[in-house]
């Protein structure tokens, strides 16, 4: 009797004990829904005509066709062969020329002469809606740098030009000051002689010089100020000749590059970047100082004893928003898998430097962890440094990437972009990128430390498909599905042939619903019948790690946060408990009131019947307290006694003994101040008030009031010793309005 000691083959495969020949008779592409090709091809190629807003060419084309259709002049042939048109565009390489594309497209269709003529009419109608030329972008590893340049141009060029214009303006005005200074001639006898002829001939120039030298105009500038202005001017002029320079640092030639952007290859880009930045920004610091000095000089406000010191300490860290766009943009481009050992240390040093340096890390959208290094998530390393802007993005989502660049380039500190790109030699790049997104192998996020003080404000998962779910898609796409698209990863998969041992779909295993079964993914046979495929333990472990990472990201983005959920649950329970307690109390109270009211009614009725007092048969004076007003139930309403009315105060008569002016209405007409400038004066607002009534007579007050065009002078009562207060004057005073 032999005992079955050998493990079943699928288990041996799972544990890596067997390495069966990879089989090729199944495929998974069709199941990665809705990442199916027909959903994807509308997104690429993008066409970019340099305005910083690349758009998908298919969309431009289809919109144009729709518009023609709606206008009643459809382009039927082109519409029917639209995919050929896109193919013709893509086959011409990166440079899109609408006419060339059309010629290639026409060649693809086998048309009769009549058909060709019809086609060229259609083309004439369609052409105005299409860009004439542009650059076609595919979701490959060149896309991130292209979008970098787009963002740089769109956000920086104009601002930099405007700033230079401002610098030039400042420089010109400083030059004006110097020019005026040069025009100031000394008015000594010698100069006067030169203008007016020999001394004594016509004028006594000696005598004139002594009179004219009395400085009347602006005094001559001090030598110190002159030197300061000249220095400032030279810094500004030097910068205007030689403005900001950006740079891309690349580790290897093989990395993508931008033809017309300054690039350098450097094996230690992370270190070099900081050195280069510090060198270039030192020059800019001088310009920032010069700008401030210039502004102060122009107002004549430069105070050496104060500003010398402050300016000497001023650097780019204090600069304004506008000036931040002048800082050189130094970008380091690197492959993510290259960040091992000491490079990882240097990368971390850069992100901790606080300098506004930019890093682009390219990573394969799908990659199994390096068995020697384990699962290092490079985006998390970057996020570990407070103050570093980190975005993880994918070439499948160019708008997310562009958005990332826009924020990165304006970040005050370091900024890192981890960009998922399709692996080399991949036949279905877009499908793979999409599967990586849906399976959370490369989640999209922005982590912007300047967006707020709280995680909820700074961290965003916007742009991910179905961000609330563990995996996107129906059925859900797992990282293993994505991996199965790579021919070189085939040996991690084994098609199911027998029913033993038990299997479970991978998503179920990942959500820990089924821990005893071997995980499988769904695939198709050649004949499109469905079949299951085992995955090995390495892949299963990797999938589990990615699922855990995603859960943490969700938690940070405020989706599915266990802390918040617990707090909400507790709050709900507490509220519920309080509610039922209250309910209980009310019921009790209601009962009590009913009892009491009933008793009282009975008592009154009985007494009424006995006494036969007709009045008491009238409805009870005291209404039943309603259960909704507890106070009424608790405290019987007090008899309202009329409050003793407050002692009727004699209305104070608005008599003022003192004369006064309603100054706010004064028209500053000088009437009163001309009459007596000691009594009437203007206040700080230039409006009259009575400064000192004792400096004039009652008669003057009355006259002023009579002549005041605003009728705002009130003479008040005469002082007892004022002899001018004759009956006639008192009568005039009484007649005042």
- CB neighbour class for 98 (10 Å; exposed up to 12, middle 13-18, buried from 19): middle
Interface with another protein, residue 562, by CB under 8 A: no
* Shorter beta-carbon distance to ligand SF4: residue 401 or 666: 666
Cβ of residue 290: shortest distance to another protein, in angstroms? 12
* Shorter beta-carbon distance to another protein: residue 106 or 448: 448
Interface with another protein, residue 400, by CB under 8 A: no
Residue 685 interacts, among another protein, ligand SF4, none and using kind-specific CB cut-offs from 5 to 8 Å, with: another protein
* Shorter beta-carbon distance to ligand SF4: residue 248 or 713: 713
* Shorter beta-carbon distance to ligand SF4: residue 122 or 671: 671
Residue 468 dihedral angles phi and psi, to the nearest 5°? -75, -25
Q: How far apart are the first and last CA of the chain?
A: 133
In whole angstroms, give the CA distance from residue 303 to residue 307. 6
Tokens 């008192």 sit on residue: 730
Residue 116 interacts, among ligand SF4, another protein, none and using kind-specific CB cut-offs from 5 to 8 Å, with: none
Interface with ligand SF4, residue 701, by CB under 6 A: no
Interface with ligand SF4, residue 693, by CB under 6 A: no
- Tokens read off for 52: 């910083």
Going by their DSSP bridges, the two strands 263-265 and 330-335 should be labelled as unpaired
Residues of span 653-692 touching another protein by CB under 8 A = 664-671, 674, 684-687
Exactly one of 709, 720, 727, 737 binds ligand SF4 (CB under 6 A); that residue is 709
Residue 318 interacts, among another protein, ligand SF4, none and using kind-specific CB cut-offs from 5 to 8 Å, with: another protein
Contact between residue 735 and residue 693 where contact means Cβ atoms under 8 Å apart: no
Which residues, 6+ apart, have CB-to-CB distance to 113 below 8 Å? none
**Nearest alpha-carbon partner for 280 in 355, 352, 348:** 355
Exactly one of 3, 198, 216, 313 binds another protein (CB under 8 A); that residue is 313
User: What are the Cα distances from residue 119, in Å, to 101, 108, 245, 511?
Assistant: 14, 13, 49, 56
* Shorter beta-carbon distance to another protein: residue 169 or 491: 169
**Nearest alpha-carbon partner for 229 in 170, 281, 187:** 170
Residue 450 interacts, among ligand SF4, another protein, none and using kind-specific CB cut-offs from 5 to 8 Å, with: none
* Shorter beta-carbon distance to ligand SF4: residue 275 or 670: 670
- How many residues bind ligand SF4, per CB under 6 A? 16
Residue 236 dihedral angles phi and psi, to the nearest 5°? -65, -45
In whole angstroms, give the CA distance from residue 321 to residue 486. 46
Q: Establish how many alpha carbons lie within 13 A of residue 515's alpha carbon, considering only the half-sphere containing its beta carbon.
A: 2
Interface with ligand SF4, residue 378, by CB under 6 A: no
Cβ of residue 678: shortest distance to ligand SF4, in angstroms? 14
Going by their DSSP bridges, the two strands 95-97 and 263-265 should be labelled as unpaired
In whole angstroms, give the CA distance from residue 216 to residue 219. 8
Contact between residue 430 and residue 41 where contact means Cβ atoms under 8 Å apart: yes
Residues of span 162-181 touching another protein by CB under 8 A = 165, 168-169, 172, 175
User: Which x/- pattern over 635-674 shows residues binding ligand SF4 (rule: CB under 6 A)?
Assistant: --------------------------x----xxxxxxxx-
Exactly one of 709, 727, 728, 734 binds another protein (CB under 8 A); that residue is 709
Q: Which residues pair with 46 in a beta bridge?
A: 56, 137
Residue 622 interacts, among another protein, ligand SF4, none and using kind-specific CB cut-offs from 5 to 8 Å, with: none
Residue 86 interacts, among ligand SF4, another protein, none and using kind-specific CB cut-offs from 5 to 8 Å, with: none
Contact between residue 407 and residue 389 where contact means Cβ atoms under 8 Å apart: yes
Cβ of residue 212: shortest distance to another protein, in angstroms? 25
* Shorter beta-carbon distance to ligand SF4: residue 11 or 682: 682
Interface with another protein, residue 320, by CB under 8 A: yes
Q: What is the Cα Rg of the chain in Å? A: 44
Contact between residue 247 and residue 264 where contact means Cβ atoms under 8 Å apart: yes
Contact between residue 692 and residue 679 where contact means Cβ atoms under 8 Å apart: yes
Peptide bond into 205 cis (omega under 30): no
Residues of span 564-583 touching ligand SF4 by CB under 6 A = none
Interface with ligand SF4, residue 712, by CB under 6 A: yes
**Which range touches another protein (CB under 8 A), out of 98-106, 289-297, 470-478, 652-660?**
289-297
* Shorter beta-carbon distance to another protein: residue 6 or 313: 313
User: Which x/- pattern over 436-475 shows residues binding ligand SF4 (rule: CB under 6 A)?
Assistant: ----------------------------------------
Residue 310 interacts, among ligand SF4, another protein, none and using kind-specific CB cut-offs from 5 to 8 Å, with: another protein
Peptide bond into 34 cis (omega under 30): yes
**Nearest alpha-carbon partner for 339 in 347, 329, 330, 328:** 347
User: Which x/- pattern over 246-285 shows residues binding another protein (rule: CB under 8 A)?
Assistant: ----------------------------------------
* Shorter beta-carbon distance to ligand SF4: residue 508 or 673: 673
Exactly one of 198, 216, 299, 643 binds another protein (CB under 8 A); that residue is 299
Contact between residue 98 and residue 131 where contact means Cβ atoms under 8 Å apart: yes
Exactly one of 318, 474, 570, 573 binds another protein (CB under 8 A); that residue is 318
Residue 661 interacts, among ligand SF4, another protein, none and using kind-specific CB cut-offs from 5 to 8 Å, with: ligand SF4
Interface with ligand SF4, residue 708, by CB under 6 A: yes
Residue 12 dihedral angles phi and psi, to the nearest 5°? -60, -40
| Helix, strand, or coil (residue 546) | helix
In whole angstroms, give the CA distance from residue 39 to residue 713. 85
In whole angstroms, give the CA distance from residue 489 to residue 484. 7
Interface with ligand SF4, residue 686, by CB under 6 A: no
| Helix, strand, or coil (residue 522) | strand
* Shorter beta-carbon distance to another protein: residue 59 or 317: 317
- How many residues bind another protein, per CB under 8 A? 39
**Which range touches another protein (CB under 8 A), out of 260-268, 315-323, 355-363, 474-482?**
315-323
Cβ of residue 681: shortest distance to ligand SF4, in angstroms? 10
DSSP 8-state class, residue 651: P
Residue 374 dihedral angles phi and psi, to the nearest 5°? 80, -165
- Residue 282's region, left for phi above 0, alpha for psi from -120 to 50, else beta, is alpha
* Shorter beta-carbon distance to another protein: residue 90 or 412: 412
In whole angstroms, give the CA distance from residue 458 to residue 588. 52
Interface with ligand SF4, residue 688, by CB under 6 A: yes
| Helix, strand, or coil (residue 23) | coil
Angle, CA of 86, 90 and 96, to the nearest 5°: 95
Residue 218 interacts, among ligand SF4, another protein, none and using kind-specific CB cut-offs from 5 to 8 Å, with: none
- Interface residues with ligand SF4 (CB under 6 A) are 661, 666-673, 680, 688, 708-710, 712-713
- Interface residues with another protein (CB under 8 A) are 165, 168-169, 172, 175, 292, 295-296, 299, 301, 306-307, 310-311, 313-314, 317-320, 412, 664-671, 674, 684-687, 707, 709-711, 737
């Amino acid at each position: 009797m032999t005992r079955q000691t050998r493990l079943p083959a699928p288990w041996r495969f799972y544990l890596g004990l067997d390495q069966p020949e990879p089989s090729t008779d199944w495929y998974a592409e069709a199941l990665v829904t809705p990442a199916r090709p027909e959903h994807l091809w509308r997104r690429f190629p993008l066409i970019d005509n340099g305005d910083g807003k690349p758009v998908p060419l298919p969309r431009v084309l289809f919109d144009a066709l729709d518009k023609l259709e709606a206008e009643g002049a459809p382009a039927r042939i082109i519409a029917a062969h639209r995919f050929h048109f896109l193919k013709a565009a893509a086959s011409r390489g990166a440079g899109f020329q609408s006419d060339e594309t059309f010629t290639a497209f026409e060649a693809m269709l086998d048309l009769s002469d009549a058909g060709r003529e019809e086609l060229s009419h259609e083309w004439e109608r369609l052409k105005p809606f299409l860009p004439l030329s542009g650059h076609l972008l595919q979701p490959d590893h060149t896309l991130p740098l292209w979008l970098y340049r787009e963002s740089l141009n769109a956000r920086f060029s104009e601002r930099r030009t405007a700033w230079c214009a401002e610098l030039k303006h400042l420089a010109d005005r400083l030059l004006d000051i110097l020019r005026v200074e040069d025009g100031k001639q000394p008015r000594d006898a010698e100069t006067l002689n030169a203008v007016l002829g020999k001394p004594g001939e016509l004028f006594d120039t000696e005598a004139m010089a002594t009179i004219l030298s009395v400085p009347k105009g602006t005094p001559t500038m001090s030598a110190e100020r002159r030197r300061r202005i000249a220095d400032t001017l030279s810094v500004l002029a030097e910068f205007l000749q030689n403005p900001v320079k950006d740079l891309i640092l690349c580790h290897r030639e093989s990395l993508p590059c931008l033809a017309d952007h300054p690039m350098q290859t450097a094996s230690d880009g992370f270190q070099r970047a900081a050195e280069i930045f510090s060198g270039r920004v030192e020059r800019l610091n001088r310009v920032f100082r010069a700008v401030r000095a210039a502004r102060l000089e122009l107002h004549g406000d430069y105070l050496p004893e104060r500003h010398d010191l402050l300016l000497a300490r001023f650097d780019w860290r204090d600069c304004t928003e506008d000036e931040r766009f002048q800082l050189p943009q130094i970008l380091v481009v690197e492959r993510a898998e290259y960040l091992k050992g000491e490079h990882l240390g240097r990368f971390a040093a850069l992100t901790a430097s606080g300098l506004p340096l930019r890093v682009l890390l390219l990573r394969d959208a799908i990659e199994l962890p390096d068995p020697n290094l384990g699962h290092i998530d490079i985006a998390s390393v970057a996020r570990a440094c407070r103050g570093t802007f980190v975005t993880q993005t994918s070439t499948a989502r160019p708008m997310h990437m562009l958005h990332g660049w826009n924020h990165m380039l304006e970040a005050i500190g370091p900024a890192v972009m981890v960009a998922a790109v399709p692996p080399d030699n991949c036949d279905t790049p877009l499908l793979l990128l999409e599967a990586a997104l849906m399976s959370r192998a490369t989640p999209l996020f922005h982590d912007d430390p300047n967006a707020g003080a709280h995680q909820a404000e700074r961290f965003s998962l916007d742009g991910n498909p179905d961000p609330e779910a563990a995996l996107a898609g129906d059925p859900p796409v797992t990282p293993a599905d994505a991996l199965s698209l790579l021919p070189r990863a085939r040996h991690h998969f084994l098609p199911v042939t027998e029913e033993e041992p038990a299997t479970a779909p991978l998503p179920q295993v990942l959500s820990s619903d089924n821990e005893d079964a071997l995980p499988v993914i769904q695939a198709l046979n050649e004949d499109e019948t469905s079949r299951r495929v085992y995955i090995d333990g390495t892949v299963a472990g990797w999938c589990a790690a990615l699922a855990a990472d995603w859960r943490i990201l969700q938690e940070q983005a405020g989706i599915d946060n266990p802390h918040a959920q617990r707090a909400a649950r507790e709050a709900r329970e507490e509220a519920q408990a309080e509610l039922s307690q209250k309910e209980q109390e009310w019921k009790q109270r209601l009962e009590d009131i009913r009892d009491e009211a009933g008793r009282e009614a009975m008592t009154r009725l009985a007494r009424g019947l006995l006494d036969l007092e007709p009045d008491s048969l009238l409805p009870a004076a005291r209404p039943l307290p309603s259960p909704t007003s507890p106070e009424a139930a608790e405290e019987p309403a007090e008899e309202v006694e009329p409050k003793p009315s407050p002692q009727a105060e004699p209305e104070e008569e608005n008599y003022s003994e003192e004369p006064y002016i309603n100054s706010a209405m004064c028209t500053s007409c000088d009437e009163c101040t001309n009459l007596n400038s000691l009594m009437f004066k203007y206040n700080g607002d230039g409006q009259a008030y009575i400064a000192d009534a004792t400096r004039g007579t009652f008669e003057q007050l009355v006259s002023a009031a009579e002549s005041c065009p605003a009728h705002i002078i009130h003479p008040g009562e005469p002082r007892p010793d004022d002899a001018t207060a004759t009956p006639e004057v008192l009568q005039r005073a009484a007649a005042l309005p």
